[in-house]
Structure 1
Amino acid sequence: MGGKRKEGPRLPGVTYSNVAWQLDVPPPVVPKDRKQELTVAFIESLSGLIRDVKIKFSTEFSDTIQRGLRVRIQPRGATYFARVQYQGREFRLRIGRIDAWTLAHARTVCASIVRHVSTGNGPPTDEWIELHRQALLAADARKKGHGDATVPYVPEVMARQPAATTWTYGEARVAYVEWLKSEEAVGNLAPATIRNYSKVLTCPALLPFDERHVARLEAADLAMAVEGLVKEGKRSQANDVSRNMKRFFRWLAEPAQERRSGVREGIMDRVRAPKLSGVKGRQHFPSLAEAGLILATSRASGVLNPAVAATVHLAVWTGQRRLSIVTAEVEHFEPWDGEPGWGLWRCYHRKVRRTNQTGKPHVIPLPPACWRVVTAYLTWHRLEYDGATPWAFPKQRPAKAGRPARVGHLVADTLTHTMTAIPGSLSSPHDMRRVISSSVQDVAGIHIALVGHVLDHADDEVGVRKTNGTTRRYTEAEMLAFKRPVMEAWERLLEPAAAAAVLLPREELKAELVRRRAEQRGVNRDAKRVRSKVVNRKPQEGTNKRRAGVAGAPG
């Protein structure tokens, strides 16, 4: 038993094999040319071939009319798809089965897919392709007289992207601010720096980024936001946004954050901050007479609030930056031992980094004419506040009802607004730096290096600070011997200018200051006065009843 079975005679019409008996079926005829013009007849022939013959192979045909369109034949059916290239990779995007799509619709959608990819938006989603099909079907229905067919809205772009697991812009901004605060805690950043960065990164022009992932923000997105600010006339803000966003994205690309942010290094470096046209032309160089006028106004009794007047006085005398002045503390002022009539102001460096490097404060000697006014003000301060606040120039706004009183320092803008509101003044606090520098150099002949020590300039090319950093660290901290000649020269120039200043009568000067400050705030004083009269004429609730009760009361 066993062994190989002998083959019998072969019968006509029957195909023999080693595994099964099969009917003699002719093999399917498939066109050999894989690249040709697809036609409706060709697509119908493919449909019949798939319907009548069980195909056990796969093949493709490319359309010579529409670039990228292909029809793929598989055992389970034939499908249109688009073949495109994006960022060096090949994508095969499924359009749909040939029995659900007409050839004309497939070509139209394939052209839209190619345009979507070629414009830099990447491959579209399947939902976008289906919306196109529905829109084409609705358009055909309308052509056939079905006027009630609603054509769905197809967005211009609907990119196919993987689900992002990295930070959104809002999340990244919160993490960045937390990092800034940690740097502040160790003394590397000033609180004002953090407030400025946070304010810029939350400006309205950047709010549309909040829900977007930072890994998907490109230089073009930031450039459009900057361009929008420039068109609105906010060129300075556009400059701040550009610089701060580039700094922010450099931090996101650091190794400590790159996995959570997904940001590539240098992604925003191509964005250019808009130029601040006319900045040099807008700079104001006050005359010595104007500086004397401002100083004389600050000394006028009862014209300005004492704290505000003292900040103006200090700005004219020392030329220090606004924030250094308004954040001064009472303990920062002290008499200069061994120099009768002189005082010292330890205002520290504006740059926190420089203070950390040297460990030395920025001390300014105050000449007798300046120190007398400062001493009188500090005496008033002790009587007024009795040590309740460490700030030398406290804020004057009262506390809100139900909240504990917290006395902070004056806002830097208060100093600017007050100085520009003085009749005859066109200067800001920063302009005082220019008048001091130019006057003591041109008139008194003081060397520029010595002036730089008083003004706390970082670019001291010829002074001790930059010539030899090691020598600077071992040099006496205050460097008062360099600074005193500058302040003596400034006293000789400023005091005569203040004495020669002609001011309005006290009441007129005070009224003019109030009027100018109202204009700065955009307040219509006449309308405000009318509203106050109306409110005062309105009887308070219960007033008439109480009056009637008093009138009818027994005597």
Structure 2
Amino acid sequence: MATGITEPDVKLAKKGLPAGKAAYDLNDGKTGLVLRVGRRGAKWAWRTEVAGRTIRLTLGDIDLLTLTQARALAGEAMHQVRDVRSKVDDDWVRAELVRMRVVPAPPPPEPRKETLKELLDKLDRDKHWTFAQARERYLDEVRRTKREDTWNDYRAILHAPELARFDDTKVFLITIERLAEVIAETHRSGRERRAEKLADCIRPMWTWMASSAQKLSSGVTPGVMKELKAPERSRKEAGQEDVDEDGEPGSYVPPVAEFGRILAICRAGVMHPVVAAAIELAILTVQRRRTIVNARRRGFVVEGDMLVWKIPPAHRKTALKRGDVRTHDLPLNGAARAVVERMLMRNDNSKWLFPGLRPQKAGDIVTHINVSVLNHNTRIMPGVEASPHDFRRGYATHTQEFLDFTLFETKYVLYHNEGIDTQDVTESAYSRARRLQKKAAFLDPWIELVEQAAVAAAPLLPPPGALRAAMTEARKPKLSKPKATPGSVEGDEHAA
């Protein structure tokens, strides 16, 4: 009697089960190999008992393994099952078939792709700064190292609505392409100077974040924003006006009569006295807007019969760049002195000559009025086309035309280096001359000129109620400033 499965058994099983014949199993003896023949074909199996428990495995189709291969695989399974440390299951069978080169090795499993939620949760757990976090830390650094006005400018730009989309984004994920797109959108909207300011503030912020001390927190790569810049400015046709940094005409020279009208409106009692006084001093001393709003009470000193304004180098661009620690001293006489003394007599517990009316943002300390206050309040004056940027241009022009000053002489008042070449060794190393008398000679006649214009303009103004109503109307959004000649009373029409 034959024992075990034979080759003829295998050949018969491959032919299939004859009609009417029942399915059957052929056992191969001690190896546990079983040839199972049924209606759906024949296959190799393995069966044994361990500690009263039956273990069954399918080894493969009859065409997959020869009898010799099936017997060897069953024998290996019987050997493995005796080792309590081994596990004989379907995974073991697949591994053995690969080892025997009966089937190819399966491809390595594809790495599992994280879901969007998992990625967002991972980023949320990431300790690198978001744009909002990085912005506040960078602004702290700007406030520590730069002057307050620079900090205010950077804060306004970096909190711009255009950048709000990045607030919750990790800064190391923000690409130059995404920021360039924002800047280009701003430029296309016609705000070309604002687009330049965005680029000019973002570049140094990224440079700071890529520094050794910040890189671990930011994850920013050095130089990634080096090429970030706004598109080129639009070409201007002949006759188009230049535009200054606040969008005001950059070539307008206000007539002397217009200077007089501005002074007269400031003194008409229709404006906040602090704002009115700041605009007056800007006209009378023709200093820059930032110099005006940054004026400190302690900077005004009486020397003999003269009031001297000691302007620190922190508010003078050229002096700051060349490391000059000397003050730019201006002698104030007449109406200019009166404005300053009026402000000094106010019972303000502030170090600023022109203290702010309210904090710029909730929680901020009230400092001085913002430079934009000068622009906005001049803009709403009826019959006035000038902006504070034009005051210095008016001085340089009219003092040469009407007072016979030379261009060099205007520099004693206008220029931060007082007309002296910054490379002049004698000036920088030896001279400490303040030139107060010379400056007075080139400032006092200007004050007298615009004061005469203010006296002439005052009777031509609308009544205070109508003037206030016209300025209130001009302050409303999307309404243009009332147009009028210096002598008109168009404010009455707006009041109506």
Provide the identity percentage.
28
Secondary structure of the residue aligned to 1:467 is coil
Indicate if the aligned counterparts of 1:360 and 1:477 stay in contact, CA closer than 8 A.
no
Cα offset for 1:408?
Answer: 5.2
Indicate if the aligned counterparts of 2:295 and 2:353 stay in contact, CA closer than 8 A.
yes
Tell me which of 460, 464, 468 is aligned to 1:513. Answer: 468
Structure 1 residues 252 and 351: alpha-carbon distance in aligned structure 2, compared to 1, 3 A threshold:
farther
Cα offset for 1:194?
Answer: 1.2
The answer on 1:330 being equivalent to 2:297 is: yes
- Partner of 2:113 in structure 1? 126
Secondary structure of the residue aligned to 1:365 is strand
The answer on 1:213 being equivalent to 2:177 is: no
The answer on 1:181 being equivalent to 2:149 is: no
Cα deviation digits, residues 5-37 of structure 1 (max 9, x gap): xxxxxxxxxxxxxxxxx99769xxxxxxxxxxx
Cα deviation digits, residues 258-308 of structure 1 (max 9, x gap): 3433322321122221445467152232122211222233344x4444333
- Partner of 2:307 in structure 1? 343
State the distance in 2 between where 1:492 and 1:52 align. Answer: 103
Cα offset for 1:244?
Answer: 0.6
Indicate if the aligned counterparts of 2:281 and 2:339 stay in contact, CA closer than 8 A.
no
Indicate if the aligned counterparts of 2:186 and 2:194 stay in contact, CA closer than 8 A.
yes
The answer on 1:285 being equivalent to 2:244 is: no
- Partner of 1:297 in structure 2? 265
Secondary structure of the residue aligned to 2:384 is coil
State the distance in 1 between where 2:69 and 2:392 align. Answer: 101
State the distance in 2 between where 1:495 and 1:335 align. Answer: 23
Alignment of 1:403-418 (within 5 A): 409-418=368-377
Indicate if the aligned counterparts of 2:356 and 2:368 stay in contact, CA closer than 8 A.
yes
Indicate if the aligned counterparts of 1:322 and 1:415 stay in contact, CA closer than 8 A.
yes
State the distance in 2 between where 1:468 and 1:74 align. Answer: 90
- Partner of 2:288 in structure 1? 321
Indicate if the aligned counterparts of 1:418 and 1:517 stay in contact, CA closer than 8 A.
no
Indicate if the aligned counterparts of 2:312 and 2:325 stay in contact, CA closer than 8 A.
no
Q: Which runs of 5+ in 1 are unaligned?
A: 1-21, 27-49, 59-72, 80-93, 97-124, 132-156, 184-188, 399-405, 525-555
Cα offset for 1:515?
Answer: 2.6
State the distance in 2 between where 1:445 and 1:472 align. Answer: 29
Secondary structure of the residue aligned to 2:242 is helix
State the distance in 2 between where 1:427 and 1:57 align. Answer: 94
Secondary structure of the residue aligned to 1:446 is coil
The answer on 1:272 being equivalent to 2:234 is: no
Between 1 and 2, higher relative CO (CA 8 Å, sep ≥ 6) is seen in: 2
State the distance in 2 between where 1:263 and 1:510 align. Answer: 58
State the distance in 2 between where 1:286 and 1:74 align. Answer: 93
Tell me which of 393, 410, 418 is aligned to 2:354. Answer: 393
Alignment of 1:19-418 (within 5 A): 54-56=97-99, 76-78=105-107, 95=110, 126-127=113-114, 166-183=128-145, 189-275=146-232, 277=234, 280=242, 282-283=249-250, 284-300=252-268, 302-337=269-304, 340=305, 342-349=306-313, 350-351=315-316, 354=319, 357-375=323-341, 377-378=342-343, 382=345, 384-385=346-347, 388-395=349-356, 409-418=368-377
Q: TM-score, normalised by structure 2?
A: 0.63
Structure 1 residues 164 and 468: alpha-carbon distance in aligned structure 2, compared to 1, 3 A threshold:
farther
Count of aligned residue pairs for this structure pair: 373
1:501 counterpart letter in structure 2: A
2:161 counterpart letter in structure 1: P
Cα offset for 1:316?
Answer: 0.9
- Partner of 2:25 in structure 1? none
- Partner of 1:454 in structure 2? 413
Indicate if the aligned counterparts of 1:311 and 1:393 stay in contact, CA closer than 8 A.
yes
- Partner of 2:428 in structure 1? 472
Secondary structure of the residue aligned to 2:97 is coil
Structure 1 residues 212 and 308: alpha-carbon distance in aligned structure 2, compared to 1, 3 A threshold:
closer
State the distance in 2 between where 1:197 and 1:479 align. Answer: 36
1:432 counterpart letter in structure 2: F
Cα offset for 1:407?
Answer: 7.5
Tell me which of 395, 404, 407 is aligned to 1:436. Answer: 395
Secondary structure of the residue aligned to 2:391 is helix
Structure 1 residues 175 and 74: alpha-carbon distance in aligned structure 2, compared to 1, 3 A threshold:
farther
Cα offset for 1:487?
Answer: 1.0
Structure 1 residues 447 and 207: alpha-carbon distance in aligned structure 2, compared to 1, 3 A threshold:
same
Indicate if the aligned counterparts of 1:57 and 1:75 stay in contact, CA closer than 8 A.
no
Cα offset for 1:470?
Answer: 7.0
Secondary structure of the residue aligned to 1:363 is strand
- RMSD over aligned Cα, in angstroms? 4.2
2:442 counterpart letter in structure 1: V
- Partner of 2:454 in structure 1? 498
1:515 counterpart letter in structure 2: A
1:490 counterpart letter in structure 2: W
State the distance in 1 between where 2:465 and 2:425 align. Answer: 49
Q: TM-score, normalised by structure 1?
A: 0.57
Indicate if the aligned counterparts of 1:420 and 1:427 stay in contact, CA closer than 8 A.
yes
Q: Which runs of 5+ in 2 are unaligned?
A: 1-65, 71-92, 244-248, 360-364, 480-496
State the distance in 1 between where 2:155 and 2:335 align. Answer: 41
Structure 1 residues 393 and 208: alpha-carbon distance in aligned structure 2, compared to 1, 3 A threshold:
closer
Cα offset for 1:176?
Answer: 1.2
Cα offset for 1:250?
Answer: 1.5
Secondary structure of the residue aligned to 1:360 is coil
Indicate if the aligned counterparts of 2:382 and 2:470 stay in contact, CA closer than 8 A.
no
Secondary structure of the residue aligned to 2:266 is helix
Secondary structure of the residue aligned to 2:154 is helix
Tell me which of 435, 443, 454 is aligned to 1:487. Answer: 443
State the distance in 2 between where 1:372 and 1:196 align. Answer: 31
2:214 counterpart letter in structure 1: Q
Structure 1 residues 391 and 492: alpha-carbon distance in aligned structure 2, compared to 1, 3 A threshold:
closer
Cα offset for 1:226?
Answer: 1.6
Secondary structure of the residue aligned to 2:308 is strand
Cα deviation digits, residues 229-249 of structure 1 (max 9, x gap): 335554443322111111111
Cα offset for 1:435?
Answer: 0.4
Structure 1 residues 449 and 264: alpha-carbon distance in aligned structure 2, compared to 1, 3 A threshold:
farther
Cα deviation digits, residues 391-421 of structure 1 (max 9, x gap): 33345679xxxxxxx9854443333233223
Larger of the two Rg values belongs to structure: 2
Indicate if the aligned counterparts of 2:317 and 2:416 stay in contact, CA closer than 8 A.
no
Structure 1 residues 513 and 477: alpha-carbon distance in aligned structure 2, compared to 1, 3 A threshold:
farther
2:354 counterpart letter in structure 1: F
